[in-house]
């Protein structure tokens, strides 16, 4: 008797490059090995860095010994946390909000998600179910998981130019021309709020204004992925500028934001995130309808967001003192990243490495699109045990005062000798 089995049509799926690279690095016994692959913050000693403010809050929570700390939350998540996350993203004064701000808050429907990945997935699924866009436009290149997430949502993916390899700069002209000519009314345009992954290249404020105008005129739907607020520049205000501009200056345009707390709180494994849907009408009824429909999707997938990590974020953001300490931690991380960019650039200039390397210091955030070829990346790994993605994307956090000269010498060698 014939049996039905999924195995008859199951084909191999390529494994995730980043996690494969991390496993290879972990197995490598070479003493000078360097990991420039995975996107996590590391100290100058190459160690994980639990934020001091997070460690302080963890102790406080342990001392409080709240007996309800393992209980279920609401389907939409921890509501006080969601209000804090919304205020942080959109720039509301949580304690002394004006009447105008209180009214504006009614435009935003917020739910908790499983970090930024879950927020992106939930947003894609919600739009695919209710808006049914013909296409989603992703930057070329973009975070690789964006392709997977929108494939799962069943929305056709298209790409707009973003990176110009010859100049290693933002191809803003190509981006705007493509969206102008080919994007259709109701299409989704995915935008990185700051610290674009993988290139580290962001539009200027003037360019963001042009993008907003184009979206409004062509009736495109902006979908912001905000993974680095505060981590990129050290300022939560600066890194949310694009989102806040769209929200404040384009009130007749709906949009949404996938918000992650993995990088800016160092809560990578805690999976803390939120999804915000912005309506054009400030009304409790329509906001609650959006939340209810999001909750329907959440209930069928994961029931509710994780509690532990959001409790840490909530504790920090409800205390002026702890928030100030968090701001200082953000400056520590962003400053070290910027210092390592400068150090690598200086070493390459000192070595007179062929080509121009200003893009390393002009880029922003955790990653640098180095411009190295796949063959050069392979040579770096095989000859020098320096690990980065085949695209040439390097996690600047993996650099330190101890290894930056070694990495620069390795890059200099492969650039001179490998095509």
Q: Which residue has the tokens 């690598």?
A: 344
Instruction: Count the helices and strands in the chain (H runs, E runs).
Output: 16, 13
Please choose, from the candidates 130, 121, 131, the residue with its C-alpha nearest in 3D space to the C-alpha of residue 219: 131
Instruction: Name the catalytic one among 78, 87, 105, 143.
Output: 143
Please choose, from the candidates 283, 290, 281, the residue with its C-alpha nearest in 3D space to the C-alpha of residue 253: 281
Helix (H) or strand (E) holding 384: helix 374-384
Q: Please indicate whether residue 205 is annotated as part of the active site.
A: no
d(CA 286, CA 338): 43
Contacts 24+ apart (CB under 8 A), 89-94: 89/226, 89/229, 89/240, 89/243, 89/257, 89/259, 89/274, 89/276, 90/240, 90/243, 90/244, 90/247, 90/276, 91/237, 91/240, 91/244, 94/317
Can you say whether the dihedral through the CA atoms of 41, 46, 52, 56 is positive or negative?
A: positive
List the structure tokens of 120: 């992106």
Instruction: Name the catalytic one among 78, 87, 202, 225.
Output: 225
C-alpha pair distances (Å), 83 with each of 76, 116, 149, 275, 306: 12, 17, 26, 12, 16
Q: Which residue has the tokens 């460690």?
A: 55
Q: Are 244 and 289 in contact (CB under 8 A)?
A: no
Q: Please indicate whether residue 383 is annotated as part of the active site.
A: no
Instruction: Name the catalytic one among 105, 158, 250, 263.
Output: 263
d(CA 388, CA 370): 10
Q: Which residue has the tokens 């495109």?
A: 220
Alpha helices, DSSP H only, in 157-240? 172-182, 205-218, 236-239
Q: Please indicate whether residue 171 is annotated as part of the active site.
A: no
Q: Which residue has the tokens 């400056």?
A: 331
Looking at the DSSP bridge assignments, the partners of residue 111 are: 275
Q: What single-letter DSSP state applies at residue 287? A: H
Q: Which residues are catalytic?
A: 143, 225, 263
């Amino acid at each position: 008797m014939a049996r039905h089995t999924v195995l008859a049509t199951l084909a191999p799926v390529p494994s995730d490059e980043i996690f494969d690279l991390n496993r290879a690095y972990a197995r490598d016994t070479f003493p000078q090995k360097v990991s420039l692959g995975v996107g996590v913050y590391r100290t100058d000693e190459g160690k994980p860095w639990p934020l001091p403010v997070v460690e302080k809050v963890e102790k406080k929570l342990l001392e409080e010994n709240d007996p309800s700390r393992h209980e279920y939350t609401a389907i939409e998540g921890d509501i006080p946390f969601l209000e804090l996350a919304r205020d942080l993203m959109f720039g509301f004064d949580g304690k002394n909000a004006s009447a105008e701000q209180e009214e504006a808050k009614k435009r935003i429907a917020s739910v908790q998600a499983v970090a930024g990945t879950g927020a992106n997935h939930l947003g894609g699924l919600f739009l695919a179910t209710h808006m049914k866009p013909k296409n989603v436009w992703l930057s070329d290149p973009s975070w690789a998981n964006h392709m997977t997430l929108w494939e799962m949502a069943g929305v056709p993916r298209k790409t707009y130019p973003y990176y110009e390899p010859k100049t290693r700069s933002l191809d803003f002209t190509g981006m705007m021309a493509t969206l102008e000519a080919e994007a259709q009314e109701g299409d989704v345009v995915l935008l990185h709020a700051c610290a674009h992954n993988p290139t580290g290249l962001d539009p200027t404020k003037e360019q963001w204004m042009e993008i907003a105008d184009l979206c409004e005129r062509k009736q495109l739907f902006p979908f912001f992925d905000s993974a680095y607020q505060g981590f990129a520049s050290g300022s939560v205000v600066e890194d949310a500028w694009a989102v806040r501009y769209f929200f404040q200056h384009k009130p007749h345009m709906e949009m949404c934001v996938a918000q992650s707390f993995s990088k800016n709180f160092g809560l990578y494994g805690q999976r803390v995130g939120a999804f915000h849907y912005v309506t054009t009408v400030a009304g409790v009824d329509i906001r609650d309808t959006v939340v209810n429909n999001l909750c329907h999707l959440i209930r069928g997938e994961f029931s509710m967001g994780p509690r532990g990590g959001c409790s840490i974020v909530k504790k920090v953001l409800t205390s002026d003192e702890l928030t100030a300490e968090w701001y200082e931690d953000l400056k520590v991380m962003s400053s070290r990243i910027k210092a390592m960019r400068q150090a690598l650039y200086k070493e390459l200039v000192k070595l007179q490495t062929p080509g121009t390397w200003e893009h390393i210091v002009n880029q922003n955030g955790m990653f640098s699109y180095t411009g190295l070829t796949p063959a050069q990346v392979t040579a770096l790994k095989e000859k020098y045990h320096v690990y980065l993605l085949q695209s040439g994307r390097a996690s600047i956090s993996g650099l330190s005062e101890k290894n930056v000269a070694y990495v620069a010498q390795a890059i200099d060698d492969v650039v001179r000798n490998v095509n």
